[in-house]
Amino acid sequence: MGYCFVIYGGPTADESAEQAVEFDGVEFHGKVLTVRMDDGSRLKARAEERARWAAGNDKREFRSQWHEENDIACRKFRKVLETEPKNWQAVINAFKSIPKPSRGEYGLMVNYYARRGDKHHARSTFEEMRAKGIEANSYVFTNLVHAYAVARDMRGALSCVEEMKAESIELTLVTYSILIKGFSDIKDVEAAENYFKEAKRKLTSLNAIIYSNIIYAHCQAGNMSRAEDLVREMEEQGIDAPIDLYHTMMDGYTNIKEEEKCLIVFERLKECGFPPSVVSYGCLINLYTKIGKVPKALQVSKSMESSGINHNYKTYSMLINGFIKLKDYAKSGLKPDAVLYNIIINAFCKMEMQRERHRPSARTFTPIIYGFAEAGDMKRALEVLDLMRRSGCVPTVETYNVLVLGLVRKHQIDKAVGIIDKMSLAGVRPNERTYTTIMEGFAADGDIGKAFEYFTKIKDEGLKLDVFTYEALLKACCKSGRMQSALAVTREMSAQKMPRNTFVYNILIDGWARRGDVWEAADLMQQMKQDGVLPDIHTYTSFINACCKAGDMLKAMEIVEEMKIAGVKPNLKTYTTLIKGWARASLPEKALQCFEEMKLAGLKPDKAAYHCLMTSLLSRATVAEEYISSGILSICKEMVNNDLIVDMGTAVHWSKCLRQIERKGGELTEALQRTFPPSWNSHEIYQMDSHQMNDTSARINRDLAHNNDEETGSLDF
């Protein structure tokens, strides 16, 4: 059926209509025409309806059927967003079913893609909106910035900010908060701090969210002093801290292994009326597993369960990871056996992967491989690697990295280098972490040539040089005594705009301490404070070691007082370094006094502390003073009570020193021999002639000098 319009003129509408009736029933090209009269009432009614709809009133809104259908589609889209956010197909179909989306719907769609980190579809939707002539407002732009930030493309996010400024759209509080969070995720704390300061300048007030994001940035970077200042600033402005902020601070203290402050934040959380959640307890479990106190982590676990809070997969993973590290066993002197390893494997089995039909992934096998590699059982580690391949899992670079890390920590650097060859055969390219771990292994051996060789490889292969790479290179330089090379490395770090952190300063100060150069160490301490980097316990101990090696014990004691004023408590290594310093100065009475102070501070002496003190007393054994004899007897008794037995070399050295005052034996000899190995009374020892004894003693002196340097002079950061 077709239509045509015939217009007749006439003085009136009726006369024109009469002329048109003549066409009714006329055949035209084989078809019969039908004339329908229209007096304009239908068009007039539609025009009136449109006018009423456009004007509107307080009683009723006049909408056309098309607008009703469009509105229904918009409501359906919003409902799908709320009820089925994970069903991306349903969301996209609901959006496409809207005949004419408005700016609100486009903004919601960009926001949906932003939460998924899909910057490409977010940009596509944004450009589609602008192509239809809809101008973007701050809400839509902010969602687009969010999309780039979640995708960790901060360059793209900043380009969106430039577009906003070009269109004279001001950045809102939400925009600034998203930018700060984005820079926090990529660990660019400097950029995050700059945008936070800009937000403070341009906005009248800030909220808890933006403060939480900037505090998170500093916690991730380990700048806890700045994070504490920001928390105080929040409180001064009357902004209540949410529970997530407490978790962020606890996580920050966990990263720097500050147990005491982490517990203070946990107690503060409860004082503010927040009931501890699984995340709160998870922060404590993570803290204790990281510092190797697995029994305390288990206590927190029981406390959490008694509060009616169930574990989730993250808390279970933390506990399992804590057992894998086995640091609490190492510190207590216990050696992990097959039973303990079976417990760990059973812990994985209890995850019921097969029952839940979860296929093991690379993340399942990697911790097990690391456990065997760190234990030095490379055969078992490689067997698990083969099992991983047979299970259909392709080993990743992280899998090989844990093999390398385990071998380096066991000082099997040659086997660690061999893993790189296995990676090449498997078609896996080593990354910067692989080479950095190898560099750390060579740094521990003081092999600066090999360390520089792998540093060059990182550069040649176009991999990223980070602070950890430079730290490994600095360790190699300082360990080998090449301090000028170390200074050249620090100059390159400055050229790369890579700031020195506490660990870098500690390595440099320890390097000068090895050489006994107290002036260079003092200059670094001063420079460290000028740069706003706070010295820690390792910094002070290294500087004290430099003073001790230079024979300046007065300066060493001044540093001890300085660190106490700064709130840094001396640890076992600090006291051992002081004892060795007093021994070098031939003042065993001071060494004995320092030893007693260490015990009063609640620290338990280890084998190195006993060795330094006993060597100091025996070196002055010819001086007939009561405190020396009583000191030797007291230390021997403590060593026997603690089941500490020295090696044969130390026993020969101590025996030679003691013969100067008790040639035929006596009370001191009898007490001292209780700390000697059982084979001391063998026939070979007594048959050793004077010449052999002198040669043995000379060798032992050299070995002891080297061992003492490793135990007390070298600080492992």
For 639-703, the three-class secondary structure string (H helix, E strand, C coil) is HHHCCCCCCHHHHHHHHHHHCCCCCCCCHHHHHHHCCCCHHHHCHHHHCCCHHHHHHHHHHHHHH
What pLDDT is attached to residue 5? 67
Structure-model confidence comparison of residues 351 and 505, the more confident one: 505
Nearest to 490 by CA among 479, 478, 481, 413: 478
Q: Residue 146 and residue 153: Cα distance in Å, rounded?
A: 10
User: Nearest 5°: CA angle at 412, between 409 and 416?
Assistant: 90
Tell me the average pLDDT across 108-131: 90
Q: What is the percent of the chain where pLDDT is above 90?
A: 12
The stretch 221-239 carries a mean pLDDT of 89
Please report the sign of the dihedral spanned by the C-alpha atoms of residue 482, residue 483, residue 485, residue 486: positive
Q: Taking the CA atoms of the chain, what radius of gyration do you get in angstroms? A: 38
| Per-residue pLDDT tens digits for 18-67 | 776 777 777 777 677 777 766 677 677 777 777 766 665 544 555 677 88
What's the pLDDT at 700? Answer: 40
The per-residue pLDDT for 359 is 65
Predicted confidence band of residue 703 (pLDDT cuts 50, 70, 90): very low
Q: What is the pLDDT of residues 675-698, one digit of tens each?
A: 888 777 653 444 444 444 444 444
Range 563-569 average pLDDT: 84
pLDDT at 468 over 80: yes
pLDDT digits (tens, 9 = 90+) for 355-365: 555 566 777 77
Question: What's at 349, amino acid-wise?
Answer: C
28 - beta bridge partners? 31
Min mean pLDDT across 131-135, 240-244, 426-430 is at 426-430
Q: For 596-643, how does the pLDDT look when each residue is reduced to its tens digit (9 = 90+)?
A: 888 888 888 888 888 887 877 777 655 546 677 777 788 888 888 877
First to last CA, the chain: 90
Amino acid at 184: S
pTM reported for the whole predicted model: 0.49
Tens digits of per-residue pLDDT, 60-107? 555 677 888 888 999 999 999 888 888 888 999 999 999 999 999 999
Type of residue found at 242 = P
More confident residue, 232 or 614: 232
pLDDT > 70? residue 463? yes
Specify the pLDDT at position 108.
92
Answer whether 193's CB lies under 8 Å from 216's CB: no
Helix axes 65-83, 88-96, angle to 10 degrees: 170
Is pLDDT above 90 for 311? Answer: no
* Of 50 and 579, more confident: 579
Distance between CA atoms of residues 437 and 440, nearest Å: 5
335 pLDDT exceeds 80? no
pLDDT for 215 equals: 92
Q: How many residues does the chain have?
A: 717
pLDDT at 195: 92
**What confidence tier does 712 reach under pLDDT thresholds 50, 70, 90?**
very low
| Helix or strand (DSSP H, E) at 289 | helix 278-290
Question: Quick one: which of 138, 133, 65, 139 has its CA closest to 109?
Answer: 139
Q: What is the mean pLDDT of the chain?
A: 79
CB 114 within 8 A of CB 143: yes
The 10 Å CB-count burial string (b at 16+, else e) for 510-543 is bbbbbebbbebbbebbeebeeeebebbbbbbbbb
Q: Give the residue from 516, 446, 518 showing the smallest Cα distance to 482.
A: 446
Per-residue model confidence as pLDDT tens digits over 540-565: 888 888 888 888 888 888 888 888 88
Residue 350 scores a pLDDT above 60:
no
How crowded is residue 580: how many other Cβ atoms within 10 Å of its Cβ? 27
9-15 own/partner pairs: CB under 8 Å, 24+ apart = 13/39
Q: What is the pLDDT of residue 38?
A: 67
What pLDDT, in 10s, does the model give residues 136-191?
899 999 999 999 999 888 988 999 999 998 999 999 999 999 999 999 888 888 99
pLDDT at 341: 52
**Which own/partner contact pairs does 612-616 have at CB distance under 8 Å and 24+ positions apart?**
612/576, 612/579, 612/580, 612/583, 612/708, 612/712, 613/579, 613/583, 613/588, 614/654, 615/583, 615/653, 615/654, 615/657, 615/704, 616/579, 616/580, 616/582, 616/583, 616/588, 616/591, 616/592
Instruction: Report CA dihedral (338, 342, 345, 347) to the nearest 10 degrees.
Output: -130
pLDDT at 368: 79
Which of 22-36, 234-248, 280-294, 466-480 shows the lowest per-residue confidence on average (mean pLDDT)?
22-36
pLDDT band of residue 518 (cuts 50, 70, 90) is: confident
Percentage of residues of the chain with pLDDT beyond 70: 82
27 DSSP β-pair partners: 32
State the residue for tokens 């709160």.
280
